[in-house]
Chains A and B, each alone.
Chain A
Amino acid sequence: MTTKVLVPRLGEGVEEVTISKWLKQEGESVKELEALLEVNTDKVDTEIPSPATGVVLKLVLPEGTVARVGEVLAVIGQPGEKADAPEAASPNPPAVDSQSKLPAAPVVIHAVVIPTGNGDLGFVSPVVAKMAAEHGVDLHQVKGTGLGGRITKNDVLAFIEKGGAAQAVGPAMAARILPQQGDQLIKHSIIRKSIAEHMLASKRISPQVLTVMEADMSRVVAHRAANKETYARDGVNLTYTAYFVAAIAAGLKAYPRTNSSWSDEGILVHKVVNIGMATSLGEEGLIVPVIKGADGLSLLGVARAVNDLSSKARAKKLQPDEVKGGTFTLTNHGVSGSLLAMPIINQPQCGILGVGAMQKRAVVITSKDGTGDDAIAIRPMVYLSFVFDHRILDGASADWFLVKVKETLEVWQ
């Protein structure tokens, strides 16, 4: 009598399997329940045990085949039997326990393995679901050793013990770095960890796009030269940063959509304009104090706020309230010489403006006297690198904002 090996149903909704590897060849003997072949379904590899003891008479489907549930994989029988000999009445490798009829014996109710609607994962028991949620385990990564490849509690425990529990989004594919002779491990400070988390998270949260324009700062330079001393008498150091903050404020007022945050319910346009100022703390990292209500401040007010927050930042005297509530951020990456950059958005803001180093460049000026004559002039130029959340803004709307910033700077008086 021969026994046909059929493709079992390994989980609810799993209609086909790919034959990964035959563990026995034709002519080899095999015992019942001994592993006969390996199959792959979506993401799980499972062994199919042999339903009978005997000799593998025929391997019907080769490795790599995609077979449907119920198809014949192989035939097992006695040595010398023909593969198409009459079949034994006994059933096939059990995948999912079928409900037995009640025996005449003491009433024992056979449990049906009830698959939940978990698609390719098969039956997920309550405690498995609970543990997966608690430990951030992606069950698709867990090898199930229960009947039919079912993931059991012990499987999840084993997975967690091997350090498989993933953090928040997706499996971590961190490269294993082996320390070499002479390497030095600098332990993470709280700031470093915090920056790392924030930056990584920001990149995962929004699709960020860079658009760059350059601004002619001559008018600003002139204005500053003319007013620096007056401001100094008021105790205020007039820096270029103040101008950039004011220009951003103008841009945000003109294009309120840039002063917003993405939410599932809609785009939340903020009423207040609070501009954060990324401030370097040297090797220790950076911090972003916030100028509240920047749209309502005069240049003097902005400059004063910039001074105040910067010195507090350097002295590490910033209050928690002073680093919260920002709706947009300015990063002055130019102070260290950088011309152009692609900063990372400070979530949950819509955008961040990076300002590069001011550099005298030769630029072409077209005369406005109607002749359209071009001339070369030397102007203090600065690249404005605007990174925006492409869920909220598109190229065009992002550029409107950036143009406004540029123009505010270029016509300053």
Chain B
Amino acid sequence: MTQPLGHSTSGSHERYKSPERLKWEESFDAIRKMREWMIVSDVVNENELSTWEAEDTQDVEAIRKSAWEAFGRPLLAERQQVLDLLDKVAVESTHADQLRGIKGRLAAIPSPVRRDFHVYVHEALRLLRDETGFSKDALVEWKKGDDSRNEIRYGSLLNVEDRSSALNVPEVAPLYSDKSPTLMGFEVINAAFDAMLAREPRLVAFGEDVGKLGDVNQGFKGMQEKYGALRVSDTGIREATILGQAIGMAMRGLRPICEIQYLDYLLYALELMSDDLATLHWRTAGGQKAPVIVRTRGHRLEGIWHSGSPMAGIIHLVRGMVVLVPRDLTRATGFYNTLLKSDDPALVVEVLNGYRLKERLPDNIGEFTLPLGVPEVLRAGTDATIVTYGACCRIALDASDKLAKVGIEAEVIDVQSLLPFDRHGAILESLKKTSRILFVDEDVPGGTTAYMLQHVLEKQGGYAWLDSAPRIVSGSAHRPAYGSDGDYWSKPNPETIFDAVYEMMHEVSPSKYPKIK
């Protein structure tokens, strides 16, 4: 009979099939019919079958029991440990009766699980908060140890942690000489991809317009000609397939760079990135990896479908992946080089309005690497710290020039990497100096700026260093409005960044920085 429960108990067939239909399914069950046929065809007789069926039922039941015991044995042993610890504490404690009560309740659970131990130990420790002693210490030690073990059981290996982690790739700085030419951004990344394809035989790149056209901004120009259509190719307009192909290839040992033409289109592939790619390492406890590099470009075209920056929406769905936001193509190259030396799945978001900006080509374009999770200070200052990434870096620097003219020196920090984020507390160091901080990006309010703010203020302890309330300048809640004017009013611009910093300084020193409006 078709399994009546279906997908889950909430979807049981009994809820929607008629009693007649259910009865029919039962009587025409395939296994039942097979059994009948075997008897009718003299393959076997009823007695034999019944005997075997009875034996099999017993066997299965025995195996089930033994599996259940094997599962329970370590848990029962752990519970016994906890009960013994509770006993010892009760001997010395003024709360002896209550502790024995806790012990009794824990002992009474027929099939305890780990959660039970912790709930009861926690209750005991709450009771014991006003006491000290060796046996209480032993209980605390047990809990600490068990917390660590459970952290490993349930929470470890979200990211690649072994030697193939991107965090272990040694940093190699970009080298410049008199001969280093000044090129446009797209030429830098083109040279970079050329070097990557030359040195890494497992590298394949594909996406919409990547092959023949060499991508919409010419980053892959000439690469299909040079390395062949097998290594650099076009796909149809189907982002989910692009991701799916990349995941499959990566799991099998290739190194795919799959391109999503614009950041805005990433949403079509986001379900796969979240469910299939980001969870792979964790849910297999490191047993499987898929070192996919998703390349995209974004933040800064104009208009509702081409200039979104939903970075928070993205990073919150792909924990387990690396998410990088290089401000220019040199930084992007460093990241690609790092990623190709490691096994982390990653998303690299290049800045759309950076392809025609001038950058110097490093002599070691194929070798230099950029470490993940390390911000860069773009401009030193003492009055306030501006934390940002991507296209907003240039806007923040513009605002800083304007601030300098009124006597305010802002420190501008490019975060560069959202997952992982500021691993060594560089932003905190800046905050210690300035005591004033502003987070800027193009995401929606409460988006990535909030993520960064929580990390700095709470995780890094930045709160204790604040002299002024922390500020945020973000994009609008609505999608970017049309035209250049719409874009101006939907995203941070030099004027709004200037205003935010100036207002902070006005509050600190109203005589030095009188109100502007």
A168 at interface by CB-CB < 8 Å: no
Q: Which chain B residues (488-502) contact chain A, with CB distance < 8 Å?
A: 489-493, 496, 499-500
Inter-chain contact A147/B510, CB cutoff 8 Å: yes
B93 within 8 A of A: no
Distance of A110 Cα from B504 Cα, bound (Å):
10
B467 pairs with A153, CB closer than 8 A: yes
Q: How far is the CB of B473 from chain A (nearest CB, A)?
A: 6
Is B511 within 8 A of A127, CB to CB? Answer: no
Complex contact B509–A152 (CB within 8 A): yes
Q: Which one of B464, B499, B509, B514 contacts A108 once the chains associate, using CB atoms below 8 Å?
A: B499
**B466 x A126 contact (CB < 8 A):** yes
Tell whether, in the assembled complex, residue A113 and residue B508 are in contact, meaning their CB atoms are under 8 Å apart. Answer: no
Residues of A within 8 A of B473 (CB): 106-108
- A144 to chain B: closest CB distance in Å? 10
With contacts A147-B507, A147-B508 taken as known, whether A106 is within 8 angstroms of B467 at the C-beta atoms is no
B435/A127 in contact, CB under 8 A = yes
Q: How far is the CA of A228 from the CA of B136 in the complex (A)?
A: 59
Does A362 interact with chain B (Cβ within 8 Å)? no
Complex interface: chain A residues within 8 A of B504 (CB)? 111
Check B469 for interface membership: any CB of A closer than 8 A.
Answer: yes
In the assembled complex, B352 has its CB within 8 A of some CB on chain A: no
- Looking at the complex, which one of B465, B469, B493, B507 makes contact with A106 (CB distance below 8 Å)? B493
Residues of chain A in range 139-160 having any CB-CB distance to chain B below 8 Å: 145-147, 150, 152-154
A125 part of interface (Cβ distance < 8 Å): yes
* A→B interface (CB under 8 Å): 33, 49, 94, 97, 104-114, 125-128, 130, 145-147, 150, 152-154
- The answer to whether B463 touches A111, judged by C-beta atoms less than 8 angstroms apart, is no
Does B476 make an interface contact (CB < 8 A)? yes
Say yes or no: B490 contacts A106, CB within 8 Å.
yes
Number of A-B residue pairs, CB cutoff 8 Å, is 83
The proximity string for B residues 455-497 relative to A, scoring 1 for CB distances below 8 Å and 0 otherwise, is 0000000011111111111111100000000000111110010
Knowing A106-B476, A107-B476, A108-B496, the reply to whether A125 touches B467 (Cβ < 8 A) is: yes
Residues of chain B with a CB closer than 8 A to A108's CB: 473, 496, 499-500
Are B466 and A125 in contact, with the CB atoms below 8 A? yes
The interface residues of chain A lying within 8 Å CB-to-CB of B490 are 106
> What is the minimal beta-carbon distance from A127 to any residue of chain B, in angstroms?
5
**B161 in contact (CB, < 8 A):** no
Closest Cβ of chain B: how far from A216's Cβ, in Å? 53
Given A146-B509, A147-B507, A153-B467, CB of A106 within 8 Å of CB of B500: no
* Residues in chain A near residue B500, CB distance under 8 A: 108
- Are A107 and B471 closer than 8 Å at their CB atoms? no
Docked Cα-Cα span, A247 to B468, in Å, equals: 64
Q: Which residues of A are found within 8 Å of B445, using beta-carbon distances?
A: 107, 109
Q: In whole Å, how far is A135's beta carbon from the nearest beta carbon of chain B?
A: 15
Q: How far is the CA of A107 from the CA of B493 in the complex (A)?
A: 11
When the two chains form their complex, are residues A152 and B477 in contact, meaning their CB atoms are under 8 A apart?
A: no
The answer to whether B475 touches A127 (Cβ under 8 A) is: no
Main secondary structure of the interface of B (DSSP, over half): loop
Question: Which bracket fits the contact residues of B?
Answer: 35 or more
Assess whether B489 is in contact with A106, with CB atoms less than 8 Å apart: yes
Residue in chain B with minimal CB distance to A96 = B507
Q: Which residues of B contact A127 (CB under 8 A)?
A: 435, 464-467
A-B contacts, 13 of them at CB < 8 A, read A33-B514, A97-B507, A104-B489, A106-B490, A108-B499, A109-B471, A111-B471, A113-B469, A125-B435, A126-B465, A150-B508, A152-B509, A154-B508
Among the listed B469, B477, B492, B511, which residue makes an inter-chain contact with A145, where contact means beta carbons less than 8 Å apart? B511
A3 to B393 alpha-carbon distance, docked (Å): 43
The answer to whether the Cβ of B35 comes within 8 Å of any Cβ in the partner chain is no
Instruction: Say yes or no for B143: interface residue by CB 8 A criterion.
Output: no
B302 CB within 8 Å of chain A: no
Q: Which residues of B contact A154 (CB under 8 A)?
A: 508-509
- When C-beta atoms are compared, the residue in chain A nearest to B471 turns out to be A111
Query: Nearest CB to that of B513 among chain A residues?
Result: A147
Residues of A with C-beta under 8 A to B477: 107
Cβ–Cβ contact B507 & A113, under 8 A: yes
CB of A33 within 8 A of CB of B507, answer no
- A106–B485 alpha-carbon span in the complex (Å): 12
Chain A residues lying within 8 Å of B503, measured Cβ to Cβ, are 110-111
Q: How far is the CB of B169 from chain A (nearest CB, A)?
A: 36
* Alpha-carbon separation in the docked complex, A108 to B449 (Å): 12
For A129, the closest partner residue in chain B by CB is B464
A322 CA to B467 CA, complexed, in Å: 50
- Bound-complex Cα distance A110 to B489 (A): 17
Complex Cα gap A117–B323 (Å): 42
Q: A127-B435, A147-B506, A154-B508 are in contact. Are A111 and B464 (CB under 8 A)?
A: no
In the assembled complex, which residues on chain A have CB atoms less than 8 Å from the CB atom of B508?
Answer: 145-147, 150, 152, 154
Given A49-B510, A146-B507, A152 contacting B496 (CB threshold 8 A)? no
B467 lies within 8 A of A128 (CB):
yes
Q: Which residues of A contact B491 (CB under 8 A)?
A: 106
Within the complex, the shortest CB–CB distance from B300 to chain A, in Å, comes to 15
Instruction: Determine the chain A residues whose CB is within 8 A of the CB of B514 once the complex forms.
Output: 33
- Docked pose: A147 CA to B510 CA in angstroms: 6
Q: Which residue of A lies closest to B436 (CB)?
A: A153
Residues of chain B with a CB closer than 8 A to A97's CB: 507
